């Protein structure tokens, strides 16, 4: 198989390009094509890629394969694997392919970037998507013409914000909504703060993973899994086999969200303001809050990543919840939308106040209030009129 040249993402070049491919239903050892042959943290990084590769290449339900471009000998799926390696020193951007030059075989290409370089670029999410776009003819699934079902933003957003009160990994099963959900993942990676996205692993699978073949609890702790999106073929999203598929995941230690069910009546559950910004394409508003978060959280996240006892998936997801809760609080306090309150803990109030005071450069959105728009009350005052503070998710 010919190995394409590694192309840079903007002015960022990957530290390594790692390939693995299915051979007789087992994955070749990741690293058989790596550029360069050595780099700091190589062993830890390749071990992380090996864990992901063994899951993605070996455990797939073979009935779910499809060729995204039959005319090409190497066809990349419109999926994304995004996860940290070497305690966050590196960020891995992966994409699956179907090799058809002799027989159909799954494979995975992974580009490895220095996380500090991605963050210093000022466009963490954009750099990731550009790297993703170098693998295959397009950067991801085309944005659907129809607006995704509201449940898509609620479910996908939960894997980033954990706003429903639990920090278990979010597993989404989708059929008709898989393309829409994939696009929402890409949009949130692009616009949410690096200090939030960089803590978790986000895996968009182009097929379904049988629960019986996945030790998800162990995997989610080794790879800090925040969100897994799995695809079920449209013609198989019903019937006894599909029912058993879903039931097999219901006992797993995850927050399971089934988007294959017919859309029901509109939920009364309020979509977080951050997700409303994403849904409505309000990039300036969401991006400004994200820059403030990164301005505050940068040093704190580096300290978090240097603490060996806080590298497990559970600890990272809790930190994601803390950042997301404070970020949502800051957005609500700044805009004061009618009919919206926010319940927050003392830590969320403190962090939100830090975000509001941050000055990440001139802002056309969160500028100083004018004489006709009084400044928002301090966080302590806002807390007094809101509901009881939430407990840390289990």
Q: How many domains are contained in the chain? A: 2
Domain-embedded: residue 386: yes
Same domain, 158 and 103: no
High-pLDDT (> 70) share of the chain, %: 72
Quick one: pLDDT at residue 225? 94
- Calculate mean pLDDT across residues 121-125: 91
Instruction: Please report which residue ranges of 85-236 form alpha helices under DSSP H.
Output: 115-120, 124-133, 150-161, 178-191, 194-197, 216-222
Domain span at residue 248 reads 147-363+376-394
Same domain, 198 and 124: no
Domain-embedded: residue 370: no
Residue 116 φ/ψ, nearest 5 degrees = -60, -35
pLDDT tens profile 48-81: 998 898 887 766 555 566 777 666 667 888 899 9
Domain-embedded: residue 369: no
Quick one: pLDDT at residue 384? 25
Quick one: pLDDT at residue 270? 85
End-of-domain residue from the set 140, 169, 184: 140
Same domain, 102 and 133: yes
Confidence bin at 3 (pLDDT 50/70/90): very low
Cα–Cα distance measured from residue 145 to residue 92, given in angstroms and rounded to the nearest whole number: 30
End-of-domain residue from the set 94, 117, 140: 140
Taking Cα atoms as reference points, which of 345, 347, 337, 344 lies closest to residue 376?
Answer: 337
Spell 240-255 as b/e; 16+ CB within 10 A means b: eebeebbeebeebebb
Same domain, 91 and 162: no
End-of-domain residue from the set 121, 140, 159: 140
Domain-embedded: residue 253: yes
Chain mean pLDDT for the chain: 78
CA distances (Å), origin 143, targets 148, 180, 185, 232: 10, 7, 11, 19
């Amino acid at each position: 198989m010919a190995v394409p040249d590694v192309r840079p993402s903007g002015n960022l070049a990957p530290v390594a390009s790692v390939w693995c491919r299915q051979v007789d239903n087992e994955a070749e050892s990741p690293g058989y094509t790596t550029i360069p042959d050595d780099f700091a943290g190589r062993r830890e990084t390749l071990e992380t890629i090996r864990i992901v590769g063994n899951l993605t290449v070996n455990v797939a339900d073979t009935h779910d394969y499809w060729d995204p471009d039959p005319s090409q000998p190497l066809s990349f799926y419109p999926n994304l694997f995004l996860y940290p390696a070497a305690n966050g020193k590196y960020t891995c951007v992966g994409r699956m392919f179907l090799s058809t030059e002799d027989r159909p075989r799954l494979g995975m290409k992974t580009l490895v970037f220095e996380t500090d370089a991605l963050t210093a670029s000022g466009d963490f999410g954009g750099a990731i998507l550009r790297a993703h776009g170098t693998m295959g003819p397009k950067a991801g699934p085309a944005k659907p013409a129809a607006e995704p079902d509201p449940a898509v933003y609620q479910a996908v957003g939960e894997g980033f914000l954990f706003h429903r009160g639990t920090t278990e990994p979010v597993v989404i099963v989708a059929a008709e909504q898989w393309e829409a959900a994939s696009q929402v993942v890409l949009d949130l990676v692009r616009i949410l703060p690096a200090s939030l996205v960089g803590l978790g692993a986000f895996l968009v699978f182009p097929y379904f993973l049988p629960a019986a073949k996945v030790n998800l609890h162990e995997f989610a702790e080794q790879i800090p899994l925040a969100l897994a999106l799995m695809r079920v073929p449209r013609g198989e999203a019903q019937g006894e086999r599909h029912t058993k598929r879903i039931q097999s995941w219901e006992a797993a230690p995850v927050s399971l969200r089934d988007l294959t069910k017919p859309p029901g009546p509109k939920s009364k559950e309020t979509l977080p303001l951050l997700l409303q910004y994403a849904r409505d394409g309000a990039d300036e508003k969401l991006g400004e809050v994200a820059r403030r978060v990164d301005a505050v959280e940068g040093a704190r996240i580096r300290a978090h990543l240097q603490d060996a006892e806080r590298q497990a998936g559970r600890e990272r997801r809790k930190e994601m919840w803390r950042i997301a809760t404070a970020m949502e609080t800051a957005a609500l306090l700044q805009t004061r939308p009618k009919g919206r309150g926010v319940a927050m803990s003392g830590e969320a109030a403190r962090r939100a106040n830090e975000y509001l005071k941050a000055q990440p450069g001139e802002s056309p959105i969160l500028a100083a209030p004018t004489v006709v728009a009084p400044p928002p009350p301090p966080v302590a005052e806002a807390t007094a009129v809101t509901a009881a503070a939430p407990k840390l998710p289990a």
